Structure 1
Amino acid sequence: MGNSIKSAEFLMEARRSRMGYGSAEECFELGVAYSCGAGDLPIDFIEAHKWFNLAASRGSEAGQAMRAEIAEEMTAREIAEAQRAARALIIASQPRAA
């Protein structure tokens, strides 16, 4: 089982790095994966909220709905942490000025 968790984590990390902060659909899919614990990953509402937030910022109505739904299961501190992580990813993915 340990190997399947490591494999799933590797696949998720590869997907994240490949997309950076990809399309609304890709962000939404990552939110779903973290909210359900897909591929033997543990459920992580903070990561799920972050990705749903990024999907919503790209115009995903489903991302908005899922972000609101998952927020009902989170503390205010967890939501703030997810929002900070989403902002950090947006800033990190912006082109750097020369």
Structure 2
Amino acid sequence: MSRNVLEKLMHQLCVDRTVKQRFKEDLEGLLARYALTEDERDMLRRFDVAAMQKHGVNPMLTLGFWSENAPDRHPAAYMKALRGADSGGEVFSAALKH
């Protein structure tokens, strides 16, 4: 399942400086090395943590990915991103019971 590959890459983006640097310098080259769907690649490109969590990605990985790689790493920006474009203002988090 490609979600597992996505989670592995997100973990590496939190702990491996080489992978993190490649993410910044050659995103498409990095993504080509992983068996991800185009939707998953797009989630990474857009830092769409709400979509990632809806896809089943562990919330701790989305938080770590955001905290280590997002252009705006502020917690308020992360919470805004969890709202997503189609949420109507509600925060989506797989960690919260719905």
**Higher alpha-carbon Rg:** 1
Identify which of structures 1 and 2 has the higher relative contact order when contacts are C-alpha pairs closer than 8 Å and 6+ apart.
2
TMscore range, shorter length: 0.3 to 0.5
TM-score (ref. length: structure 2):
0.35
TM-score (ref. length: structure 1):
0.35
